[in-house]
Structure 1
Amino acid sequence: MLDNHELARRISYAFSQSPRGTKAAVARECEINPQAITGWETKGAIDKRFIPILARRTGRRPEYFLDPAVTDRNSAAISETSNDDYADVVGYSQAVGLGAGGAEAVEYAETHSLKFKKTSLRRRGILNRPLAVYYGRGDSMEPTIKDGDAILFDTSDTRVVDGVLYVIQMDGAANPEYYVKRAMVLDAGIYFASDNPVGDHSWKKPKAMDSKKHPITVIGRVHWIGGWAD
């Protein structure tokens, strides 16, 4: 058996090698307060019944959190999934402006493919929808979206819902410009705003969707954001 100090180190290491949001996912599945995970990482104070969930979510063998013979290097779980469990989503080199102006549309953007679990897409209700991934540029949507984050959105969902993030389009100097902004459905109409308005002088105030000078077109609803953890 591991002593508490080594168990705490291994838990912290497993989380550090996992995607952003893993801790929150573990807390939800274990039905515990997210702050309880701090005790796991600092004191090794984990209820052993949570180890299978921790292992699965972090991609480790359960024995890694129990057996000293299992090391960091040989702790990865053997995947039992196949490509049939994943859906390919087209990723474009196209940027979307978060601040410092919009990102002009790129007519022949290079493409690549990102894989998403079909079960995750199905739970979200967007499996087999026309999905795409663009990449954020700027800082006016921090802390929600950071510069360089991947942004998955559904191009078939353009119905505006209050408080939801959307990829939108506005006229630019030469080509259309893309942004990601948060919708505000008010009595006066539909507006789009930045989460961090000080990050971009042109988005210090919300902009009206039906503006006569700069009308806004909704391109799709944002469903997933991926980026580096701090």
Structure 2
Amino acid sequence: MRQTQHFQRDVPAGPRARLLELSQLRGVSLAALSELLGRNPSYLQQFIRKGSPRKLEEQDRATLARFLGATEDELREAQDNSYATPVEPRNSDKWVEVPRIDLGAAAGAGRLPGSEAAFDIFRFSQRWLQEQGLARAQLSAIRVEGDSMEPLLNDGDEILVDCSPRPFRDGIHVVRLGDTLMVKRVASAGPGRIALLSQNFAYPPVEVAAEEVVIIGRVVWKGGRV
């Protein structure tokens, strides 16, 4: 109990406290979130503990908000800390059904895909999707299998994959390599080359020709048991 009280005194109020709270609720370390942003592992730790940088860059804030299932306002510096303000109930009857695909994206050595038929759905409010910048996204949900993306993605997590066509940029993607479906951090490895990277350093990087990989979609959100 003493440790908890001391810990809370050291954490600033506002977006920094909210980011720490969200990371703990989702079971994701600050180091893993920093790497999600393409930053050094101590980046968010310094942001929260030392106030450096003073505020998150807009793109970083948007990425964190999407991944943590939050709104960007929760992570934005503001005088009123609006994320803590109660929201008036709305008559929100508009929902988007996202198919759960009977398919696992391997976070490990890879696996052959199973059936791609939807066996269930998740329902998300249109308002929430708009807040996450996903109002026009082509979403589906699949599960993670294996441990190569830990601690960012754990075995059994369900991930939302945005299959909307868009220019490639580095990030966490579901890809198909041959007949194998995988979830990996995908990065450019030079002209005509792509690197498939794991969060778990026990798994070495895999570098392949760009034409060998089909990028199914970008991972934009995850859910899993605590």
TM-score by length of 1: 0.58
How many aligned positions are there?
A: 165
For residues 26 and 206 of structure 1, what CA distance do their matches in structure 2 show?
Answer: 37
**1:83 Cα deviation (Å)?**
2.9
Query: Are 1:196 and 2:200 counterparts?
Result: yes
1:55–1:150 distance in 2 versus 1, CA, 3 Å: farther
Does the 8 Å contact 1:136/1:150 carry over to 2?
Answer: yes
Counterpart of 1:62 in structure 2 is none
Equivalent of 1:179 in 159, 163, 182: 182
Q: Which amino acid aligns with 2:196?
A: F
**1:22 Cα deviation (Å)?**
7.5
For residues 178 and 158 of structure 1, what CA distance do their matches in structure 2 show?
Answer: 20
Percent sequence identity is 23
Describe the SS at the equivalent of 2:210.
coil
1:227–1:27 distance in 2 versus 1, CA, 3 Å: same
Report matched runs for 1:1-230 at 5 Å: 20=26, 21=68, 28=75, 31=78, 53-54=83-84, 56=86, 80-84=90-94, 86-99=95-108, 101-107=109-115, 109-157=117-165, 159-162=167-170, 164-171=171-178, 176-188=179-191, 189-198=193-202, 200=203, 204-210=204-210, 215-229=212-226
For residues 151 and 80 of structure 1, what CA distance do their matches in structure 2 show?
Answer: 27
Describe the SS at the equivalent of 2:148.
coil
What RMSD, in angstroms, separates the aligned Cα atoms of the two structures? 3.5
TM-score by length of 2: 0.59
Describe the SS at the equivalent of 1:222.
strand
Does the 8 Å contact 2:74/2:83 carry over to 1?
Answer: no
Does the 8 Å contact 1:102/1:178 carry over to 2?
Answer: yes
Counterpart of 1:44 in structure 2 is none
Gaps of 5+ in 2: 9-20, 27-67
Does the 8 Å contact 1:133/1:151 carry over to 2?
Answer: yes
**1:180 Cα deviation (Å)?**
0.6
Larger radius of gyration: 1
Deviations 1:176-211 (A, max 9, x none): 22111112123343222111131x4xxx12322437
Deviations 1:29-74 (A, max 9, x none): 6759xxxxxxxxxxxxxxxx86x844748xxxxxxxxxxxxxxxxx
